[in-house]
Structures are given as structure tokens and as C-alpha cells.
Copies of this chain bind each other. A is one copy, B any other.
Amino acid sequence: VFSPHSFAQTGNVRWRCATSWPKSLDTIYGGAVSVSERISAMTDGKFTIRPYEAGELVPGLQVLDAVQQGTVECGHSAGYYYVGKNPTLGFATSIPFGLNANEHNAWLYSGGGLELLRGVYDDFGIINFPAGNTGAQMGGWFKKEVKTAADLKGLKMRIPGLGGQVMAKLGVNVQVIPGGEIYLALDRGAIDAAEWVGPYDDEKLGLQKAAKFYYYPGWWEPGPALDLMVGKKAYAALPKAYKEILASACAEANIQMMADYDAKNQAALLRLQKGGTQLRRYSSDILKAANKAMQELHAENAGKNASYKKVYTPWEVYRRNVHAWHQINEKPMLDFNP
């Protein structure tokens, strides 16, 4: 016979979770909600994590800092927002021409990736748990078509992170603008192009009303992962079972968010196309130039940053192998496209 209150003898734990997302982006903010709800359900409400949207406790791009300083016990954010602190954090999220969602998960959970990334986050007093993936994103909105790499030169584009660094190498005038301000900047012509996430999220920002051409693939973000960043002190104070429950809830949030994006993007894309959005595929010329620039960036970063080299070297071997496998087992079905 079971006790009706399984956790009755266990102390309560109340955490706060700062996030980088507005609540309106329900899929990505949903990652933090999912972690919160699953942990509460698994502990009969004894261990709760309350998520806060960007700006409620701290600005959206200072979540890592807030966890590091102990302002909050944890945060839900993207490692690559903090590449200014250490460019190696880009590997926690997505690398241009890198791994797709499944490949990234394989690297994390079965290829030694999680251990490598934890070594990077450890410098910030943080232990990271992958907790969400958007899948391959779109390649951004442009007011005018771009057919060759030369067409990119001089364009003003909102694109952060490593993708922005690649675009800068191609002559783009790179702008960093918070999500909520992209529409106005694009609509008023302060910028010529902008990327955000994909159809479901971009539609909410209204970007389709400010630019006509919607490019794909999102070569700079083939499988962006989000992390639950947990302060090591708060983590150490958890009972062992709660640590395990936290890990499992994050894995579940990871697979759930990927499912949500895959389930919702196509309907949004059809709505956008019905409204006049024109889909355009990046030319081979642009992809080749961008990939070349990214390989130069890898060499530069690995040359001057030991942490980057330590992660990049095995990651690159892994990337080649898993890409080769997916050329065999996944691509031919996409080619046939029944």
C-alpha cells in the first residue's frame, strides 16, 4: 500500500528561473514551463521552479550572469548569447554549418559533448542541462532578393552570434537588435534584412509585413539547443533524487520543444505564403562563401582560445561522421519525398 503523499517527508525546494524569452513565444518559453511543470508533477509539488520572462527579473541576455551571481538558482537561455564571454559557448547552441537537432543530441548524450560543454560552463559556476531545441531555423527576411554572395555586401542585417560574424566576413553591416524591435527597424528601412527563428515565431513578430522574401535554409542555426543553466551551489544543495528528476525533466523538455516546433511551423509557413511571403532558397554561391568564412572563423578561434580548440577538435570529427551517416539513412528518404 502506497502513501498518498509520496514526498511528504521531503523538504520543499523553491527556485526561480530567469529566461531569455517573452511569454508570447510559447514554444521556446515553453521549454522553461515544461521543466517547471514536469519537476513539480514528479515531486508532488515539493520542488518547484517558477519561470520568469525576459526582463521580469533580469534582461533577457543577462540570464547566464544572473545564475553565475546567484541572483536566481537557474535560467533558461542559449549558450551562444554569451560568446562574448567565451566563444566556445556557441557549441552549446548551434554552429553555422554544424549539427542538426538529432546530431547535436547524439553528440551531447552519446558522443561526449555534454561533458565537454559542462567543462566550459563550469568556469561560470554553472552546470548545464540541454532543455529544448528549435530544429533548423529559417534563413531570415530580406526586402530585396540576394542571389550571390556579392549581393550581401553592404546590406544592413539583424543577425547575432557566429552567424553574424560570418555575415560580417561577407561584407554585411551586422546589427544587433532585440527581438521586440526588429519589426519596426525592418519596416522603417533602418535595416534591409533580419533573422529571428522560423515561421511560427517570426509570424508573431509580424516580420512578414516588413519584408517579402523569406530565405532558407537557416545555415547558421541548423539545430539550436537551449540550456537550463543551474547554479552549482543551488544544485549541490538538492537531494539526489531531485537532481535526477531535474535531469530527466530537461531531457523531456528537449524532445518536447523539438516536437512542438516540428508540429507548428508548417501551418505558419502556409499562412505566411498565403499572405504574400515569397520563399527563396540560398544559392550555392552564398552557402559556399558562408561555409568558407565559417571554417576561417573556426581556425581563428581555435588558434587563440584553448577552450575552443578543446571542444572544436573532437566536435569536428564527430560532425563529419554523423553527417556521413545521415547522408545514407536520412537524406534518401527526403530526396524521394513520397
List residues of A whose CB falls within 8 A of some B CB.
1-11, 13, 38, 41-44, 97, 100-103, 105-111, 135-138, 198, 216-219, 222, 237-242, 244-245, 247-249, 251-252, 254-256, 258-267, 269, 279, 281-282, 284, 287, 291, 321-338
From residue A111, how far is it (CB to closest CB) to chain B in Å?
5
Report whether B337 and A44 are in contact in the complex, using a CB–CB cutoff of 8 Å.
Answer: no
Q: CB-CB < 8 A to A327: which residues of B?
A: 334, 337
Residues from chain B with Cβ under 8 Å of A284 in the complex: 336
Q: Is the CB of B254 within 8 A of A4?
A: no
A12 to B: closest C-beta gap in Å: 9
> Inside 8 A of A333's CB, which chain B residues have their CB?
97, 100, 136, 217, 219, 222
| Cα-based distance from A282 to B333 in the complex (angstroms) | 11
Cα distance A128–B207 when bound, in Å?
Answer: 41
Could you tell me the distance between the alpha carbons of A100 and B264 in the complex, rounded to whole angstroms? 17
Q: Pick the contact of A265 from B252, B258, B269, B329 — CB < 8 Å?
A: B329
Interface centre among A239, A325, A335 (most CB of B within 10 A): A325
Distance of A83 from chain B, by nearest CB (Å): 20
Choose among B8, B41, B255, B262 the residue that contacts A322 (Cβ–Cβ < 8 A): B262
A44 engages B240 (CB within 8 Å): yes
- Tell me, in angstroms, the Cα distance from A45 to B279 when the chains sit together: 53
Given A217-B332, A252-B252, 18 additional A-B pairs, CB 8 A: A1-B11, A2-B11, A6-B241, A9-B9, A41-B244, A97-B333, A106-B259, A110-B263, A110-B264, A111-B259, A216-B329, A217-B329, A219-B333, A265-B329, A287-B338, A291-B338, A327-B337, A331-B331
Contacts of A9 in B (CB 8 A): 3, 5-6, 8-9
Smallest Cβ-Cβ distance to A267: which chain B residue: B321
CB–CB A110/B260 < 8 A: yes
A106 touching B11, Cβ below 8 Å:
no
Sampled A-B contacts (9; CB under 8 Å): A5-B9, A7-B10, A102-B258, A103-B262, A216-B328, A252-B252, A266-B325, A284-B336, A287-B338
Question: What residues of chain B lie closer than 8 Å to A254, measured between beta carbons?
Answer: 255
